[in-house]
Amino acid sequence: MATPQTQGYPVLIIGAGRGGSALLEIFIEDRLVEIIAVVDSNPDAEGMKLAKSRRIPTYTDAGEALRACRNHPDCIVYNLSHDDSITEEVAKVFGHHKRVASGLEVTLFWQMVTNLKQTKTELEKSQSQLQAIIHNAMDGIFTINETGEILGLNPAAEQIFGYAQQDLLGKNLNLLMPEPFRSEHDSYINRYIQTGEAKIIGVRGREVEAVRKNGEQFPMELSASEMLLGGQRYFVGIVRDITERKKTEKKIAYLAHYDYLTDLPNRALFLDNLEHSVSLAKRNKFKVAVLFLDLDGFKKINDTLGHAAGDLLLREVSLRLKETIRNSDTVARVGGDEFIFVLNEIGADENAALMAKKIIIALSESFELKGRQCHVGGSVGISIYPDDSNDPETLIKLADHAMYSAKQSGKNTHKFYRDVLPDNPG
- Identify which of 418, 395, 136, 99 has the alpha carbon closest to the alpha carbon of residue 270: 395
Residue 356 CB coordination number (10 Å): 25
Contacts for 189 with CB less than 8 Å, ≥ 6 apart? 146, 147, 148, 235
More confident residue, 98 or 222: 222
Summarize pLDDT for 54-95 with one digit per residue, the tens.
999 999 988 888 888 877 877 888 888 877 777 777 777 776
Question: Backbone phi, then psi, for 301, in 5-degree steps?
Answer: -65, -45
CB 378 within 8 A of CB 294: yes
Equal CATH topology for 137-243 and 258-419: no
Confidence bin at 128 (pLDDT 50/70/90): confident
> What is the rounded CA–CA span in Å between residue 143 and residue 235?
6
- Output 108 or 383, whichever has higher pLDDT: 383
Least confident of 135-149, 191-205, 285-299: 191-205
Instruction: Say if CB 100 and CB 87 are below 8 A apart.
Output: yes
Instruction: Find out whether the peptide bond into 180 is cis, omega within 30 degrees of 0.
Output: yes
CATH number of the domain located at residue range(s) 137-243 in this protein: 3.30.450.20
**DSSP assignment, residue 370?**
T
Predicted confidence at residue 198, as pLDDT, reads 65
- Those residues whose C-beta lies under 8 Å from the C-beta of residue 334, and which sit 6 or more positions away, are 266, 267, 270, 340
**Structure confidence by residue, pLDDT tens digits, 14-40:** 888 887 888 888 888 778 888 989 999
pLDDT of residue 4: 39
Tell the CATH superfamily of the 9-116 domain: NAD(P)-binding Rossmann-like Domain (3.40.50.720)
Read off the pLDDT of residues 372-402 as tens digits, 9 standing for 90 and up: 898 999 999 999 999 999 999 999 999 999 9
Domain extents in the chain:
9-116, 137-243, 258-419
Predicted local distance difference test score (pLDDT) of residue 102 = 64
When pLDDT is averaged across residues 234-261 and rounded to a whole number, the result is 91
More confident residue, 265 or 1: 265
- Residue 3 in this model has a pLDDT that exceeds 60: no
Instruction: Supply the CATH classification number for the domain 258-419.
Output: 3.30.70.270
